[in-house]
Amino acid sequence: MKVPQFDIARQYRSMKAEIGDAVNEVLESGQYVLGKWVKDIEQSVAQATGARHGIGVASGTDALALALIACDVKPGDEVITSPFSFVSVAEVAIRMGAKPVFVDIDRKTFNIDPGDLEKKITDKTTAIIPVHLYGQSVDMDAVMKLAEGKGIAVIEDAAQAIGARYKDKPVCSIGTMSCLSFYPTKNLGCFGDGGMVLTNDDSLAERAESLRRHGQAEKYKYRFVGLNSRLDSLQAAILLAKFGKLEKWTEARRRIASRYDELLKSTPVETPYVSDFAYHVYHQYTILTDARDDLRAFLAEKGVGTATHYPIGLHRQEAYADLGYKEGDLPNCDWAAERVISLPMFPELEEAEVDHVGTAIQEFFKNG
């Protein structure tokens, strides 16, 4: 049996007619950028996440860039974030002349460790970007408390966590601003690039909305130095067609996760730890094992696709060598990078496939 780590085409095939209708409607309308579909998805996502405003943009990476610009992060400022994540935050901070400062992670949740965060805050810190990794919320009370009263913006990177909750609050409703990605692999994915900035702050929303259109207030009048980062109507219409199913898909991910938990109980792998405060949406189901590379190879032989999120911390990447981190500076990040494997995870996975993956892992440890 072949079980892919991810397969978005299954989702498309399950709703081909609806997607086709949505796409045709946009094509017939003659309106291809921003417009009513974008407004509708902005409203739907904002409402579901409890944020007052949603601003559709061209990608999750752009959402982070726009949030940093809107929050007035300037050259020389320090932006604190996780080294155990996708590269976007580090990249956009540096593009703005700011300096990314990496906080070590917690070994159980893989999210930033508030204790280390406290040590990394200086008088140059103007933003903290917690990443809700794999679909599980960061300890947001701890982060908000550390930022409070210091003029530090908290920007939630919720690219992997749409629908997740911290205590009773949805992610994206807590920080100063929040960012989502609709890249096809995300829990709500479009058929290209897309993203969204969310905020409860009216004036930040107005800035972000203007910034995505070159900083225009009205046509050809520029209030801010902006960029071109608009969500297009086709992606918005596709997202709208999918949005109503997101909750069901999240439930399916959670069911698959608890089946994996059950199947792996008898093995030495560490299954995902879920914090008391978290409603986990399992963007990834990521396990820990000392035998990572051998297990990956064994699973590949059994037809099971896996992935490593992430094999090298951002502080150890060639592109970020100038930041001056050395081996041992962020030991928990390095430790996790050597031990994580993400198993197949998407809502359309069938029970027999999940069982095949679980049984293969049991077999590996029995024989090993």
Ligand X SMILES: *Cc1c(COP(=O)(O)O)cnc(C)c1O
**Does position 45 bind ligand X by CB under 6 A?**
no
Q: Tell me the closest approach of the beta carbon of residue 242 to ligand X, in angstroms.
A: 16
Nearer to ligand X, 27 or 33 (CB): 33
What DSSP string describes 26-56?
Answer: HHHHT--BSSHHHHHHHHHHHHHHT-SEEEE
Q: Tell me the closest approach of the beta carbon of residue 25 to ligand X, in angstroms.
A: 24
- How many residues make contact with ligand X (CB under 6 A)? 14
Residue number closest to ligand X, CB atom: 60
The tokens for 112 are 């930033």
Nearer to ligand X, 104 or 157 (CB): 157
Outline where DSSP puts E strands in the chain.
Answer: 53-57, 78-81, 99-102, 125-129, 153-157, 165-166, 169-170, 177-181, 195-199, 278-279, 285-288, 340-343
Q: Tell me the closest approach of the beta carbon of residue 64 to ligand X, in angstroms.
A: 6
100 vs 82: CA distance, rounded Å: 9
Nearer to ligand X, 137 or 267 (CB): 137
CA distances to 188, 209, 257 from 161, rounded to whole Å, are 9, 23, 15
Nearer to ligand X, 86 or 260 (CB): 86
The residues in 56-115 that bind ligand X, with binding defined as CB under 6 A, are: 59-61, 85-86, 88
- Are 277 and 129 contacting, i.e. CB atoms less than 8 angstroms apart? no
- Are 182 and 213 contacting, i.e. CB atoms less than 8 angstroms apart? no
End-to-end CA distance of the chain: 22
- Are 197 and 175 contacting, i.e. CB atoms less than 8 angstroms apart? no
Convert residues 150-179 into a mask of x (bound to ligand X by CB under 6 A) and - (unbound).
-------x-xx-------------------
289 vs 291: CA distance, rounded Å: 5
- Among positions 67, 128, 131, 340, the unique one binding ligand X when judged by CB under 6 A: 131
The residues in 322-351 that bind ligand X, with binding defined as CB under 6 A, are: none
Q: Tell me the closest approach of the beta carbon of residue 3 to ligand X, in angstroms.
A: 22
- Among positions 78, 106, 193, 334, the unique one binding ligand X when judged by CB under 6 A: 193
- Are 171 and 137 contacting, i.e. CB atoms less than 8 angstroms apart? yes
The residues in 295-324 that bind ligand X, with binding defined as CB under 6 A, are: none
Nearer to ligand X, 42 or 157 (CB): 157
Q: Tell me the closest approach of the beta carbon of residue 268 to ligand X, in angstroms.
A: 28
- Among positions 114, 195, 347, 358, the unique one binding ligand X when judged by CB under 6 A: 195
CA distances to 97, 146, 226 from 100, rounded to whole Å, are 10, 18, 22
Contact residues for ligand X, defined by CB under 6 A: 59-61, 85-86, 88, 131, 157, 159-160, 181, 183, 193, 195
